[in-house]
């Protein structure tokens, strides 16, 4: 029998300071680039998310020397020169690991089978594979055309002009960008179709620049990466994860509490750091600086907002919207059906259990705010469903099935809620 987390309403508003784990997105980019760098890099504030744990394990399997000590990791880079490797790599349910390694494995001599979980094999990868083939990669699909698992054989990768369909995931572009300096020719990446989640490209470019590689781009549609640039090892501190922070700030919003996240700055380039701006538009009080704090209000207002640049907080916002007066329209959600679950479908199903009406299409959800009732919530093997719906418990008792799913991005989530004064029981 699977576990259940019971969350009970706050007896009164709380006023707390809290830290969140290091950014999973920054961690995984830094791990790839530090592995490709010349010299030894110390990464501090590293995420303890399962996605990052998986990536570290697979990089080690590929021969990268990595030492871990808590949230400090030392990576001995190989300058892009890998020893031959033939075998299987299992990315499990980690989307960024699947995409980043699809590109990285193209420069590794040997024959690699890259696979994942059952759900990962339902998540499209053709846009990235087509682009990698253009630069000389030899990739074949093992089961269904356009989806993992894939077999990657060492080929004559070159660089040159590469067209990519990035309409499903910005990680396709990030994966290409990070390995492009290894190519013998200058690389020009041209994005066809609408590029989603642009701020995540900014994160990639930021980490690349920190390690000494320059990328020129025109309005995020065309990127030029000069050949023979070298990543240089350089210590790197990873800031708090803004996606993880969103749940704690949302809890403040719906419960009239004050929550300050001390290791996330308002200057962060993480798109999800702007989640506090959305809460402010809904009537909350926000203080910004080297930390971000939100004070909730009993008079939350419905809004219309495009979440194309921050889809990972769409579920969190949906919960806040359930408590807001009026109809909240959230758009820019086309990628949600390709995540750990079809998140739009799952959102509607679980909101209805809370007696909250909603309607959705392929790109948006409209939520009618009311007075949510307690319910048993299914998580669909999706960490963000579990964490978002747990917030409801600050107002009315909820029960979350399979609470361990949070390990994917925020393993200490339930203990963090307890430390803030939220009554959580796991059975």
Q: What is the pLDDT of residues 280-335, one digit of tens each?
A: 999 999 999 999 999 999 999 999 999 988 989 999 999 999 999 999 999 998 87
- Nearest alpha-carbon partner for 30 in 243, 234, 263, 225: 234
Please check whether residue 159 is in contact with residue 185, taking contact to mean a CB–CB distance below 8 angstroms: yes
Q: Are residues 68 and 121 in the same domain?
A: yes
Q: Are residues 392 and 291 in the same domain?
A: yes
Indicate which CATH number applies to the domain containing 305. 3.65.10.10
From residue 270, how far is each of 165, 169, 266, 313, 336 by CA, in Å?
A: 23, 16, 9, 12, 18
What range does the domain containing 175 cover? Answer: 24-225
65 falls within a domain: yes
- Nearest alpha-carbon partner for 92 in 120, 119, 116, 112: 116
The token pair that represents 7 in the structure block? 């969350």
Q: How far apart are CA 257 and CA 51, in angstroms?
A: 31
- The answer to whether residue 312 is catalytic is yes
230 falls within a domain: no
Q: Are residues 51 and 186 in the same domain?
A: yes
417 falls within a domain: yes
234 falls within a domain: no
380 falls within a domain: yes
Kindly state the average pLDDT of the residues 38-48.
97
Q: Are residues 278 and 184 in the same domain?
A: no
Please check whether residue 248 is in contact with residue 240, taking contact to mean a CB–CB distance below 8 angstroms: no
Q: How far apart are CA 344 and CA 238, in angstroms?
A: 31
Q: Are residues 48 and 158 in the same domain?
A: yes
CA atoms within 13 A on the CB side of 239: 21
Q: What pTM was computed for the model?
A: 0.91
Domain finish residue from 225, 260, 289: 225
Q: Are residues 94 and 204 in the same domain?
A: yes
From residue 93, how far is each of 37, 52, 71, 148, 190 by CA, in Å?
A: 27, 11, 22, 11, 28
Give me Rg for the CA atoms of the chain: 21
pLDDT at position 69 is 94
235 falls within a domain: no
DSSP symbols for 335-398: GGGGSSS-HHHHHHHHHHHTT--EEE-SSEEEEE---PPPEEE--TT-HHHHHHHHGGGGTS-E
355 falls within a domain: yes
Number of domains into which the chain is organized:
2
Q: How would residue 194 be classed by pLDDT, with cut points 50, 70 and 90? A: confident
Q: Are residues 78 and 127 in the same domain?
A: yes
Kindly state the average pLDDT of the residues 352-357.
97
The token pair that represents 174 in the structure block? 């990030």
Q: What is the pLDDT of residues 124-157, one digit of tens each?
A: 999 999 999 998 899 999 999 999 999 999 877 8
Q: Inform me whether the pLDDT recorded for 1 exceeds 60.
A: no
Q: Are residues 41 and 181 in the same domain?
A: yes
Catalytic residue (choose from 51, 90, 312, 378): 312
Q: Are residues 207 and 247 in the same domain?
A: no
- Nearest alpha-carbon partner for 407 in 31, 121, 51, 30: 51
Q: How would residue 340 be classed by pLDDT, with cut points 50, 70 and 90? A: low
Q: Are residues 249 and 220 in the same domain?
A: no
Q: Are residues 213 and 164 in the same domain?
A: yes
Alpha-carbon torsion, ordered 375, 249, 286, 339, to 10 deg: -90
Which residue bears the tokens 């980490």?
A: 207
Q: Are residues 54 and 196 in the same domain?
A: yes
Domain finish residue from 225, 254, 275: 225
Domain finish residue from 225, 250, 278: 225
375 falls within a domain: yes
């Amino acid at each position: 029998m699977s576990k259940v987390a019971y969350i009970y309403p706050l007896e009164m508003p709380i006023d707390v300071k809290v830290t969140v784990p290091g950014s999973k997105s920054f961690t995984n980019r830094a791990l790839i680039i530090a592995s490709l760098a010349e010299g030894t890099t110390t990464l501090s504030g590293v995420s303890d998310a399962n996605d990052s744990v998986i990536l570290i394990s697979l990089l080690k399997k590929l021969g990268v020397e990595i030492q871990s000590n808590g949230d400090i990791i030392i990576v001995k880079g190989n300058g892009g020169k890998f020893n031959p490797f033939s075998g299987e790599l299992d990315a499990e349910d980690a989307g960024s690991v699947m995409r980043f390694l699809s590109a990285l494995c193209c420069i590794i001599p040997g024959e690699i089978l890259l696979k994942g979980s059952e759900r990962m094999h339902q998540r499209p990868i053709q846009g990235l594979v087509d682009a990698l083939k253009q630069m000389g990669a030899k990739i074949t699909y093992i089961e269904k055309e356009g989806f993992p698992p894939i077999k990657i054989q060492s080929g004559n990768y070159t660089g040159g002009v590469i067209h990519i369909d990035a309409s499903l995931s910005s990680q396709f572009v990030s994966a290409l960008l990070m390995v492009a300096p290894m190519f013998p020719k200058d690389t020009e990446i041209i994005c066809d179709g609408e590029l989603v989640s642009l701020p995540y490209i900014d994160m990639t470019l930021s980490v690349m620049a920190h390690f000494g590689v320059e990328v020129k781009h025109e309005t995020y549609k065309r990127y030029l990466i000069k050949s023979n640039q070298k990543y240089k090892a350089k210590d790197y501190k990873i800031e708090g994860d803004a996606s993880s922070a969103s749940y704690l700030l949302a809890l403040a919003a719906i419960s009239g509490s004050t929550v300050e996240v001390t290791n996330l700055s308002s200057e962060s380039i993480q798109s999800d750091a702007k989640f506090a701006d959305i809460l402010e538009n809904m009537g909350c009080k926000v203080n910004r600086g080297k930390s971000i704090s939100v004070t909730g209000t009993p008079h939350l207002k419905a809004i219309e907002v495009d979440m194309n640049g921050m889809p990972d907080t769409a579920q969190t916002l949906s919960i806040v919207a359930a408590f807001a007066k009026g109809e909240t329209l959230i758009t820019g959600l086309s990628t949600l059906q390709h995540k750990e679950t079809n998140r739009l479908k799952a959102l509607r199903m679980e909101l209805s259990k809370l007696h909250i009406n909603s309607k959705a299409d392929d790109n948006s959800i409209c939520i009618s705010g009311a007075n949510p009732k307690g319910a048993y919530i299914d998580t669909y093997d999706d960490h963000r469903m579990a964490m978002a719906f747990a917030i409801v418990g600050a107002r009315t008792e909820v029960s979350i099935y399979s609470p361990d799913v949070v390990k994917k991005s925020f393993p200490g989530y339930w203990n963090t809620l307890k430390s803030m004064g939220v009554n959580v029981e796991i059975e």
